[in-house]
Amino acid sequence: MRKDLNPGLDAVGMRLIQGGSFRMGSELYYPEERPTREACVGSFYIDEVPVTNAAFAEFVRASGYVTDAELVPSGDAYVGSDPEMLVAGSSVFTVSGNDSATGIPPWWQFVPGAHWRAPYGPGQTMDDWMEHPVVHITYRDTAAYASWAGKELPTEAEWEFAARGGLEGTEFAWGNELAPGGVMMANYWQGEFPHVNLALDGWERTSPVRSFPANGYGLHDMIGNVWEWTSDWWTLPRDGESVAKGCCAKRQNERLRRSADPLDVNAVPRRVIKGGSHLCAENYCQRFRPAARHPNAIDTSTSHIGFRCVIRLG
């Protein structure tokens, strides 16, 4: 826990979101967003922007923390894995014509030596990336940073409520047009994914925070740029609602069990990520919307997932 901040300073660089109720989810896009449902959140502060490389570097300097992508995985934790893959590194978006036998889309490549300081592999410097969102961050990494900063990860409902910026029932965080009047409102993929990126928004990969307009709550990059971790275990909305009434621990255990991929008996539990990224396109993964959601294994980092934090009131 960070000790040098008092409650009055904790909220620097954050926006106060007054709690309330809203219609969560969407009936228009992907099945995992359905059904729309009433959700209620309390008041909280949320970071104006995703945690940047500069902010994460401050945390690392102060704490000596080492991210999961910088650690050599344990063979005991990944029984049956290819020994050549048990090296420090992370997954990087790289367009490739080779299909993968693992079922992982061919544009993802595990790159030894890729981590938050070297987002696309060894040999880089961070000089030009300090105001970009930090990436190659697992859920454990986000929790460590949040604890140090005296904050927490948002729930899925808190994140979506904040992303909507006070708008009710619109597709995007700014209205119902993806690019109103041709104006790029977020960093996403323009063109035919994964081979043609027109970069009409000016960026092929991540962009510096605040490069695009804030939403109605003064929050930047809630849509596009990088996916963002939330604290919620992945379940389908109906699954979450069908959990038997009982003690909180029982409900949490059931959500944890349901969070793993049911098609993989060795699957790692998954948390909800929100907001889409610079790799979302109109022809693929139209998840550049507040209602969109996706599962991500808690031990998995990539070049397009980051996070932001909250401070809850009351």
User: What percent of the chain lies above the pLDDT cut of 70?
Assistant: 82
Q: Which helix (H) or strand (E) holds 288?
A: none
The predicted-structure confidence for 21-80, as pLDDT tens digits, reads as follows: 999 999 999 999 999 999 999 999 999 999 999 999 999 999 999 999 999 987 656 656
The predicted-structure confidence for 186-223, as pLDDT tens digits, reads as follows: 999 999 999 999 999 999 999 999 999 999 999 999 99
Find the angle CA(255)-CA(259)-CA(261) to the nearest 5 degrees. Answer: 150
**Per DSSP, what are the bridge partners of residue 115?**
118
The pLDDT of residue 11:
82
Q: How far apart are CA 231 and CA 171, in angstroms?
A: 23
Higher-pLDDT residue of 103 and 109 is: 109
Given pLDDT bands bounded at 50, 70 and 90, which one contains residue 126? Answer: confident
- Whether the predicted pLDDT of 3 surpasses 50: no
The predicted-structure confidence for 262-274, as pLDDT tens digits, reads as follows: 556 457 899 999 9
For residue 197, CA distances in Å to 51, 109, 135, 178, 283 come to 26, 19, 21, 17, 12
Phi/psi of residue 181, nearest 5 degrees:
65, 20
Q: How far apart are CA 293 and CA 33, in angstroms?
A: 7
Give the predicted TM-score (pTM) of the model. Answer: 0.88
**Length in residues, the chain:** 314
Q: 27: which 2 tokens?
A: 């009936």
Domains of the chain from N-terminus onward? 13-51+133-297+306-312 (3.90.1580.10)
